[in-house]
Amino acid sequence: QAFQKNLAQAERIVVVGNGGIALELVYEIQGCEVIWAIKDKAIGNTFFDAGAAEFLIPKLTAEKQETPIECKRTKYTVEGSEEEERPVAASDKLGSALGPDWHEGLHLKGTKEFSHKVHIERLCEVKNIHLQQEFLQLQRPSLSFPKEEENVEPEEVLWPVYVELTNGKIYGCDFIVSATGVVPNVKPFLDGNDFAIGEDGGLKVDKHMHTSLPDIYAAGDICTASWEPSPVWHQMRLWTQARQLGWYAGKCMAADARGEAVDLDFSFELFAHVTKFFNYKVVVLGKYNAQGLGLDHELLLRCTKGQEYVKVVMQNGRMMGAVLIGETDLEETFENLILNQMDLSAYGEDLLNPDIDIEDYFD
């Protein structure tokens, strides 16, 4: 709501970061110039390779006319609030939480009349942030919003805040959104407690979600899974995984209280995340970016411009991961193929042949 309020008076903002939140923001914001600073060559590096990024880019510059796709997921609502139309979020009402639904009920529009205006500054990070007075003392020019195929011009307008990038460019803006990743916030729990900490800074948990201290469990972004993971699962600080970990931690607590045994939940067998970017359904499965596979893997690709992008990661004839963008209807089949680790060498590139109904092979 604070973001919506600030955006309503903004002409330009800078978004820093290249994960899920940054992707959602740059697409949803209307009527405001967006300078998007990313440290990678391609957008959405957390989820996508350069090919998938190229597939998505046209949606950034297109006018938004399409109907938003439905996200089929559990909704948490206050009784009676479902029926009310709320174009502007009121502070006394609870809105959506969890994942791509966060902006439902919010009116994410700046002061301008256009729909989309995003400029990407690649391979750079934020070097300095200057308030207006500090910027004036620098006596350096700031840049106007770049137009296509033209050199970026210095501008005369004064902005509340300025971002100096490591590539030497300075842009003025109304405010900055930092969306640079998740760090486990363990500090509140460490005082006087001797928790074992994982390499990534989270509280270490075993396969029953116990921390190193008796009767204390941890779940979600704060914890580090320190059990031996399945070959096609890895921890990522995402809303879907936080929810799975929380649900499983509750199950483990109840089992411990009753003295019952509990097995590691099935959702930790295969990494799976379903979300929505640029109004496309996005499904990532297993080692979708060949995480930890080194050079010993191959990729199969299928792409129909503006419709779908399918990438499969293969190792020794077995499917290890996949990225599915668009309405591919392949997620269930691929999920089973990754879990079953069946040798698919005989199918070769026919695995992604659009003229072959792959489901028929494996029913």
**How many whole angstroms separate alpha carbon 323 and alpha carbon 315?**
15
Position 184 scores a pLDDT of 96
Residues 237-253 have pLDDT tens digits of 998 999 999 999 999 99
203 Ramachandran zone, left/alpha/beta (phi>0; psi -120 to 50):
beta
Domains of the chain: 1-63+103-178 (3.50.50.60), 187-268 (3.50.50.60), 272-361 (3.30.390.30)
Residues 164-194 have pLDDT tens digits of 999 999 999 999 999 998 999 999 999 999 9
User: What tokens appear for 220 in the block?
Assistant: 């979600």
**How many whole angstroms separate alpha carbon 307 and alpha carbon 324?**
11
Q: Which of 70-74, 107-111, 164-168, 204-208 has the lowest mean pLDDT?
A: 70-74
pTM (two decimals)? 0.88
Position 208 scores a pLDDT of 97
pLDDT score of 86 more than 50:
no
**How many whole angstroms separate alpha carbon 17 and alpha carbon 43?**
9
Residues 113-130 have pLDDT tens digits of 888 899 999 999 999 999
